[in-house]
Amino acid sequence: MTLLLKKYKKDIIGIALGAVAGYFYWKLIGCSSGTCMITSKPINSTLYGAVMGYLVAGMFKKEQ
């Protein structure tokens, strides 16, 4: 289990930070009309942030 966490540490941190950022984006800015696909619901915004966090974290991986 610890080996798995060590291997995917950057990915997990990126997903967590992205999800938190996505939630706070919905909470603080959001979409007042409810017609925005990503920011109209907190789950959409949180999942989008998690995906973006994963992609950003992937930019810092070492090539093997």
- Cα 24 to chain center, whole Å? 11
First to last CA, the chain: 22
Residue 64's pLDDT band (cuts 50, 70, 90): low
pLDDT tens digit sequence for 15-42: 999 999 999 999 998 887 878 888 888 9
Cα three-residue angle 16-46-62, rounded to 5 degrees: 40
What phi and psi, each to the nearest 5 degrees, are found at residue 61? -80, 150
pLDDT for residue 46: 96
pLDDT exceeds 90 at position 1: no
Cα three-residue angle 44-47-50, rounded to 5 degrees: 150
pLDDT for residue 6: 87
